[in-house]
Structure 1
Amino acid sequence: MFLSFEGIDGSGKSTQARLLADSLRAEGRDVVLTREPGGSPGAEEIRRLLVEGAGERWSPETEILLFTAARRDHLERVIRPALAAGRTVITDRFADSTRVYQGAARGELRAMVDRLHDLSIAVEPDLTLVIDIDPATALSRGRARGGNEDRFESLGLGFQQKLALGFRALANEYPDRVRLIDGSGAPETVAARVSAALPA
């Protein structure tokens, strides 16, 4: 099974991806936990270009190309081999992030995102779990976390609000694949909601 976690910066999706991986491993499942941008050595190099530096470092069009390049390497070197070996893959972000960040919130570029995805990736997760949280709460969490991977948080609350709307719209666009998970409350409470959303 191929699962992705999505959500705005500071939503708690990385924590939930890790908790789910731990839970499935405890059940005896062979799980690969990975992330985007990154997940493979080449994609991690591209990650640094994307998440560090000034908010306007790249145009949205250039970001789409960089994210797609990183995703292709990740797909070739990590995701496909793991799925072929019968392992469960959980990724912290996948193509839906590019659809929302660059395709909607950074510009009206969804057609470009979709064409590049169809040409270069052509894979969707079996299930996508969007951790849905108040953008102001998420932004304060992200800023409190610190570090130098704050390029998108630096674009401010209005940008995070656009992202939240974009992820909610995806749940309507792909109702068979995308599930909105209430991200409020303790991590263990949210993890229980995640588990309840998984197929039996």
Structure 2
Amino acid sequence: MPARFITLEGGEGAGKTTLSLRLATALAAAGVPVLRTREPGGAPGAEALRALMLHGGVAWDPVAEAMLMFAARREHVAKTIRPALDAGIWVVCDRFADSTLAYQCHGHGLDRTVWQRLAEVALDGFAPDLTLVLDLPPDAGMARALSRGAPDRFERMGAAFHARVHAAFLAIAEAEPERCAVLDAAQPPDAVFAAAASAVAARLGIAL
């Protein structure tokens, strides 16, 4: 069986990091070689851009911000994700291109055609095999996120911004049901993991 690329998407505080760790651990326990990674980040150049975008204190123009996101993503894919997949290692990634569509386009109003052109250049058709969308009301997610400590630049965006982002992820999942599975992230962590494991088994043929 070829290695697979699984992404986790959703708003702030939805539980993506927790679920990515549990999925990676379960895959490894099932004998599947796996790499857990995140965006923006996952490669040295991408991590440098992450620090700039999340904590740099700059109010980026939406086009510039999207360009930086895709620059980081290109580094991540070229230096980390593709080499792992080529070596037979499954990849579980916290955020990918859907986040740029949700945050920069739906959240900040960037024209989707800009996102599409950047994706074509940076990714050249590369896409996840399965995307798990964690659905949590924005107010609940922000309460979780803010309890973790000082907020980053995106966590400081207002309620209306996060409502648009939340709606965007659901719209993405509805538009691409063959790739996306929506999970109720308001459930306890064990129930969320069980739903994710069920989706992995049904879509990718691996029992966890």
TM-score, normalised via structure 1 length: 0.96
Mapped contact 1:103–1:111 kept (Cα < 8 A): no
Among 106, 119, 122, which residue is 1:120 paired with? 122
Are positions 1:94 and 2:96 aligned together? Answer: yes
Q: Please report how far the alpha carbon of residue 53 of structure 1 lies from its aligned counterpart in structure 2 after TM superposition.
A: 4.3
Mapped to 2, the partners of 1:71 and 1:172 lie a distance apart of 24
**Could you report, residue by residue, the CA deviation over 1:38-95 in whole angstroms, capped at 9, with x for unpaired residues?**
00011000001111144x6211111101001000000110001000001101110010
Residue of structure 1 equivalent to 2:12 = 9
Mapped contact 2:9–2:134 kept (Cα < 8 A): yes
Return the letter of the residue paired with 1:40.
A
Q: Please report how far the alpha carbon of residue 113 of structure 1 lies from its aligned counterpart in structure 2 after TM superposition.
A: 0.5
Any gaps of 5 or more consecutive residues in structure 2?
A: none
Q: Please report how far the alpha carbon of residue 179 of structure 1 lies from its aligned counterpart in structure 2 after TM superposition.
A: 1.1
3-state secondary structure, aligned to 1:139: helix
Any gaps of 5 or more consecutive residues in structure 1?
A: none
Mapped contact 2:62–2:110 kept (Cα < 8 A): no
Mapped to 1, the partners of 2:182 and 2:56 lie a distance apart of 31
Mapped to 1, the partners of 2:181 and 2:162 lie a distance apart of 19
3-state secondary structure, aligned to 1:43: helix
Mapped contact 1:38–1:74 kept (Cα < 8 A): yes
How much identity, in percent, do the aligned residues show?
Answer: 42
Mapped to 2, the partners of 1:5 and 1:192 lie a distance apart of 15
Residue of structure 2 equivalent to 1:160 = 162
Residue of structure 2 equivalent to 1:109 = 111
Aligned residues between the structures: 198
TM-score, normalised via structure 2 length: 0.92
**Which 4+ runs in 1 deviate beyond 6 A?**
none
Residue of structure 1 equivalent to 2:134 = 131
**Could you report, residue by residue, the CA deviation over 1:148-183 in whole angstroms, capped at 9, with x for unpaired residues?**
5x1111012211111110000001111110111110
Mapped to 1, the partners of 2:195 and 2:128 lie a distance apart of 19
Residue of structure 1 equivalent to 2:185 = 183
- Give matches, 1:3-152, under 5 Å: 3-54=6-57, 57-122=59-124, 123-147=126-150, 150-152=152-154
Mapped to 2, the partners of 1:31 and 1:194 lie a distance apart of 16
Mapped to 1, the partners of 2:117 and 2:186 lie a distance apart of 35
**Could you report, residue by residue, the CA deviation over 1:119-173 in whole angstroms, capped at 9, with x for unpaired residues?**
121211000001000110000111111145x111101221111111000000111
Mapped contact 2:16–2:94 kept (Cα < 8 A): yes
